[in-house]
Structure 1
């Protein structure tokens, strides 16, 4: 396979901030500060008598702040998924050996999922969280049940947008209340079909593909503004979680929560570093490069909501070429779920079996592995993994009432699950790019001392800036061409 020279990239903006301003404006510091302040506000709220059933001004305020931020993220999910997938598929026309890259990406998705689910099974058998659970847990079914038939039928689009309108009767006054929902799996199917059709249409589809890529840039810019206010949303989400769930809810499920976070830690801090090291890459550079996206995934609990930042750190920090990253990262955000679709359903299924005193045989453990590796798309990059859990339980023949046992602490677990998901979504493209000889090693090993998340500069602006800085028209043209090369260079 032929390799190309590293793609020309515009240099990072010089960092002229002082130490104090650099700390205060650091995304990581802002998220950490919001976490601490949110926990403090939640504890204060509980001291003032606020609980899940008892509301106060503080609890309502925190709930509105956190809920509004989640609403903003969800509002951008559908257009982001559609445009990102169509654009990522269309980008394959610029990539040499596209089929090989796609195959390698899917293969490594499966390999890492297999490792993660194996860790979950081993921890479930060893720690036995179901045997240590309290007897006062509430059993109950959930509204959404995942089965293989539901999963397969759910892939068939009901309409172009995967749109569904649900109408229910109000609990008190008998009025009708309608709500609009999007089936994310159907949106993905429609986007994949449109993207492939556009590729097959050839030159006549170029205007559509150009429009889709432009629309994606606009949506990503809007979502980037939403990401910028993530510390505010974090403050409300964490504070509301502490009030609604409290630390006492962890008492009867402490062994299960501990097993989940132990499994997540093993994958994030042991398995991923081993994979990075065995491919001749620096573990420190990987973590410093991907950490901003991991932090946002932790607080937002949405792989899709974190997608723009994940793609940005994968390209700008880890050195994955844009043509490949723009395909692999959106694909991973919808199907690569080591936390939600591998560790969690494995441990949760074993927990339910132990709680109901059901012995699992070797075939059922194999089914857990198969469901986790094959059924990852059931999570579809949105918050929560209940559908994936019910899919696993129904496949194993375990009581679905067991899902209700774990709902109380699901938001607490979902933060860690999504963080691992995001880390894996950046890891696999990095590994594949390194194996295929297209990883920009200079960029991967570069010090993280600039402003890697500065606003994108349009090509026209870059050309204008180059003209102002260049000493001659020839220099200006060369600089502008370097900026354009980042967008159009093929990956070899």
Structure 2
């Protein structure tokens, strides 16, 4: 009698760690290593954290210029696949402005209630003028480049957006004759997004370096001087993300706000770490499409928002910063100044251009109000800590507005929205959400 051999045991598979858990682990490890570095003056660890964080940010920035150009170009040409494209574009811009206005009002109210510049111990001599300052004249004249190379070498995103918009509109006018160029642009965009996706997968490692270096360099005592201001920025951003946005989703879009955060959370958490709206853009595109917004519309709204929609950097932050700096320099602000802050925030948000930091927007606000630009120097040391929450707010808004507009125009896929995955980053191919792939047979139609 033959005895059959036992079946070989299947090898145990190592469980896959969710991306969000990797990010959280990176945050915790970064805090611990930063504390060790500062407490025991471990110079080699300080240098390592600095290099790791710097390399991660540089890798993100490396793709910014071509990514912005081709994303804007392709997104504009993709509007030809959308019925009532002009209506969708105008509604998107309108909701960008509405949410920015709400955000800046929250920033002003918090600043007036808490007086963030009072009792800090900081004086005007602690500040210094920034090397590059922004003004309305610089903003308006700086949109048009002097040549086609410099904006890419100097990473002037605003000028890159301008050139991409002109190229996109020209391609629409040329029609079929521009198809070879559009095919090339779509292929390049896919390539860039694929490469940037590899960089995004390194975010947990980059988190260790960025957070660790921030703590090692600045420590907790620095935050103490800016405690009220830091708390105001975080509270203001939290009120917008978890207060205003859910309210708009529930009352305007009439959808479940919790489902929005379930779907959009991967992009929000990556924005918190990377401090770059443009660097997060591929993930924002993914989660917005997974929330049921049509690909044709998403491929326009998200790249457009990644360079212009900045509720954190261009609304809450400059409002609070203007009040903070005015109190340090003992300058009285009146109703006219507060209205100017709101105007600058709503109109000038494109000056932030989706990059890390909001110095250009801050100098634009201060110069409009006539406040000393030395005040910018007061905030530079604490800026990395603030920028994480600001960018998370920016990206949340960039995913929110397409959902609101799509819901209002009856083109939101409610089944997709209600079933959006909580962790779409894991096992999700970049090509699924590429703006270049926005070629679904059904065309998005905006209805009155």
| Counterpart contact for 2:19–2:426, Cα < 8 Å | no
- Alpha carbons of structure 1 residues 390 and 485: separation in structure 2 relative to 1, 3 Å: closer
CA shift digits 1:184-212 (9 cap, x unpaired): 11111100100100001111001111111
Equivalents in 1 of 2:106, 2:438: separation in Å?
43
Choose the corresponding residue for 1:123, options 110, 113, 117.
110
Q: CA distance change for structure 1 residues 324 and 382 in 2, over 3 Å: closer, same or farther?
A: same
Question: Are residues 1:287 and 2:261 paired?
Answer: yes
Q: Establish whether residue 398 from structure 1 lines up as the match of residue 398 from structure 2.
A: no
SS of the residue corresponding to residue 251 of structure 1 reads: helix
Name which of structure 1's ranges 355-364 and 64-73 shifts more when overlaid on structure 2: 355-364
Are residues 1:371 and 2:363 paired?
Answer: no
Asked if 1:340 is matched to 2:332, the reply is no
1:99, distance to aligned residue in structure 2 (A):
0.2
State the match for 2:91 in structure 1: 104
Deviation at 1:245, TM superposition (A): 1.1
In structure 2, distance between residues paired with 1:218 and 1:392: 37
Quote the Cα distance in structure 2 between the aligned partners of 1:302 and 1:246.
Answer: 23
Instruction: Give the C-alpha shift of residue 486 in structure 1.
Output: 5.6
What is the rounded CA distance, in whole Å, between the counterparts of 1:283 and 1:353 in structure 2? Answer: 37
Aligned counterpart for 2:392 among listed residues 412, 415, 419? 419
C-alpha separation in 1, matches of 2:423 and 2:239? 31
Q: TM-score, normalised by structure 1?
A: 0.84
Q: Could you tell me which residue of structure 2 aligns to residue 21 of structure 1?
A: 15
Are the aligned partners of 1:338 and 1:424 in contact in 2 as well (CA < 8 Å)?
yes
Quote the residue 1:476 is aligned against.
Answer: none
Q: 2:126 aligns with which of 133, 138, 158?
A: 138
Does structure 2 conserve the Cα–Cα contact (< 8 Å) formed by 1:73 and 1:305? yes
Q: Does residue 44 in structure 1 map to residue 36 in structure 2?
A: yes
In the alignment, the residues of structure 1 paired with residue 419 and residue 223 of structure 2 have an alpha-carbon distance, to the nearest angstrom, of: 42
Q: CA deviation at 1:236?
A: 0.7
Change (3 A) 1:186 1:451: closer
- Structure 1 residue 152, shift from structure 2 partner: 1.0
2: CA distance between counterparts of 1:267 and 1:435? 20
The residue correspondences of 1:269-288 to structure 2 (distance < 5 A) are 269-278=242-251, 279-288=253-262
Alpha carbons of structure 1 residues 85 and 140: separation in structure 2 relative to 1, 3 Å: same
Query: Matches of 1:230 and 1:485 in 2, distance apart?
Result: 27
In the alignment, is the contact (CA less than 8 A) between 2:69 and 2:164 conserved in 1?
A: yes
Local SS of the residue matching 2:73: helix
2:141 is aligned to: 153
Given candidates 286, 294, 308, the residue that maps to 1:312 is: 286
**Cα shift at 1:20:** 7.8
Separation in 2 of the partners of 1:119 and 1:125? 10
- Contact 2:70–2:164 (8 Å) recurs in 1: yes
Q: Does 444-453 or 264-273 show the bigger shift? A: 444-453
1:386 paired with 2:359, answer yes
- 2 CA distance for matches of 1:486 and 1:159? 33
CA offset at residue 95 of structure 1? 0.4
Q: Could you tell me whether the CA contact under 8 Å between 1:430 and 1:439 is conserved in 2? A: yes
Q: Which residue of 2 aligns with 1:353?
A: 326
Question: Residue 154 of structure 2 aligns to a residue in which SS?
Answer: strand
Give a deviation string over 1:289-345, Cα, whole Å, max 9, x none. Answer: 1100000000100000000000100001x1100000000000000000000000000
Taking the aligned partners of 2:304 and 2:431, their CA distance within structure 1 comes to 25
The reply to whether residue 217 of structure 1 matches residue 205 of structure 2 is no
Contact 2:266 2:425 in 1 (8 A): no
The separation in 1 between residues aligned to 2:271 and 2:138, in whole angstroms, is 28
What residue is the counterpart of 2:239 in the other structure? 266
* Structure 2 residue corresponding to 1:433, chosen from 406, 412, 419: 406
2: CA distance, partners of 1:48 / 1:277: 50
| Cα shift at 1:357 | 1.3
Unaligned runs of 5+ in 1: 1-17, 51-55, 165-179, 460-483
Number of residues of Structure 1 aligned to a counterpart in Structure 2: 428
1:187 pairs with one of 143, 147, 160: 160
Change (3 A) 1:353 1:447: closer
